[in-house]
Structure 1
Amino acid sequence: MPYVLLGLAIVAEVTATLALRASSGFSRLGPSVIVVVGYLISFALMAKVLTSLNVGPVYAIWSALGTVGAFAGGVLLFGEQVRPITIIGAAIVVAGVVVMNLGGGVSH
């Protein structure tokens, strides 16, 4: 169950981050509300996840998949450019998370 909650926290965080881009510096009400609600949901879910899983690997997964999700969302929703170097960077971020999790100690 903690991994389901972590997945939902990631979805909420990516949604909030993409809404942050759409808010035009908090000048648009709808996306601005999504930013606040999305981050609140994400942090609440993360707090729940951290009652059963260790903070290092959880934060690594959350931040890495959030980064990749925001990158993909930026490309799909806002037409941001994809360069080979950015794809390599995203792969390195994901590889780093895999290496961290290979170290064990995910649950406490």
Structure 2
Amino acid sequence: MPWLFLAVAILSEVVATSALKSAEGFTRLGPSLLVVAGYALAFYLLSLTLDAIPVGVAYAVWSGAGIALVSVIGWIVYKQALGVGELAGMGFIVFGVILLNMFSKTPH
């Protein structure tokens, strides 16, 4: 269950982060509420995972997946270019998360 909570926390954070652009500095009510609700849910669910998943591993998975997903959303929704450098950087982040999970001493 902790990994499911972490996955939903990541998705909530990605939705909230993606809505930041549409919130236009919190001047638009709907997107602003989505940002606040998304982050609140994300941090609550992240907190539930920390009894079973080490904080370093949980945060690495959270940030790595979040970076990759937000970048893909930026590419698809906002037509933001992803160059070789960005793609390589995301690849290194994903590889780092995999290494952390492989070598973590705490059972998953």
Decide: shared fold, TM above 0.5: yes
Shift of 1:105: 2.6
What is the rounded CA distance, in whole Å, between the counterparts of 2:100 and 2:30 in structure 1? 37
Q: Which residue of 1 aligns with 2:78?
A: 78
Q: Which residue of 1 aligns with 2:45?
A: 45
Q: Which residue of 1 aligns with 2:3?
A: 3
Unaligned runs of 5+ in 2: none
Paired residues, number: 108
CA distance 1:106–1:27, change in 2 (3 Å): farther
Identity across the alignment (%)? 36
What is the rounded CA distance, in whole Å, between the counterparts of 1:93 and 1:104 in structure 2? 16
Q: Tell me the secondary structure at the aligned position of residue 82 of structure 1.
A: coil
Q: TM-score, normalised by structure 2?
A: 0.94
The runs of 4+ residues in structure 1 deviating greater than 3 Å are none
Shift of 1:99: 1.2
Unaligned runs of 5+ in 1: none
Q: Is the 8 A contact 1:16 1:38 kept in 2?
A: yes
RMSD across aligned positions (CA): 1.2
